[in-house]
Amino acid sequence: MRTPRWGFMAALLTGLLLGPAAGAREPTVHRITVYVHSGMSLYLSEARTLGGVGGGLGVRDTLDERFILQADASYLMALGKVVEVRAGAGLQRSGTWTPAALVMLSCMAGQGMRFLTPTRSTPVEGPALTVGLQLAPLRFTHSGTQLSLFELGVGVGSDWPGRGLTWHLTLLQAGTTF
């Protein structure tokens, strides 16, 4: 009777002491997802309006089903032809319903409406850079497939002197996880 009790106690103690340490040493699980997306982005400042509707490709690394690192590129049309490259990091919920929130950096370059005003007599040049927040409330993950609807984002940047705002709407994003 004594030997088994002592054996159980020793095993439990060992597990309690060594369990967490052993878990922390486990390698981070990366799940790479390649996705396509469509929607619209608009950058508005006193110096220019860029953006349009379109779509593109992206890649996402989901770490331990919790943390997200992603980057994507889009080709947008309407107010000229624009390429938008975005990179973001954020958190998601685990499970099938996986809503997410990300901090996004955006770089938009190409044609657009430009404005000259009494305070700005030369056109602004270069890409529009913004940093902002993106929310993906309707995002689902199941059997290696990710689907997201109606992601909303807002960002702020600078067309000095002045402020720029980016509005982003992803209508549909679909990805395959490897």
Lay out the site mask for another protein across 116-135 (x = CB under 8 A, - = otherwise). xxx--xxx------------
Structure tokens at 13: 């103690």
Residue 32 to residue 70: CA distance in whole angstroms: 10
Please identify, using beta-carbon distances, which residue of 96 and 117 lies nearer to another protein.
117
- By CB under 8 A, tell whether 3 contacts another protein: no
Length of the chain as a residue count: 178
Place of tokens 């002197």: 161
Q: Is 111 in the site for another protein (CB under 8 A)?
A: yes
From residue 17 to residue 46, what is the string marking binding to another protein with x (rule CB under 8 A)?
Answer: -------------------------x-x-x
Nearest-approach distance from CB 50 to another protein, in angstroms: 9
Contact 128, 50 (CB under 8 A): yes
Measured from the CB of residue 118, what is the shortest distance to another protein in angstroms?
6
| Dist CA 136 CA 145 (whole Å) | 16
Report the nearest approach of another protein to the CB of residue 83 (Å): 13
CB of 178 to another protein, least distance (A): 38
Q: Which of 32, 78, 138, 156 binds another protein (CB under 8 A)?
A: 78
Angstrom distance (rounded) from CA 163 to CA 104: 17
93/135 Cα distance (integer angstroms): 12
d(CA 10, CA 121): 79
Do residues 151 and 98 make contact, with C-beta atoms less than 8 angstroms apart?
A: no
Min separation Cβ 43 and another protein, Å: 10
Enumerate binding residues for another protein (CB under 8 A). Answer: 42, 44, 46, 49, 78-81, 111-118, 121-123
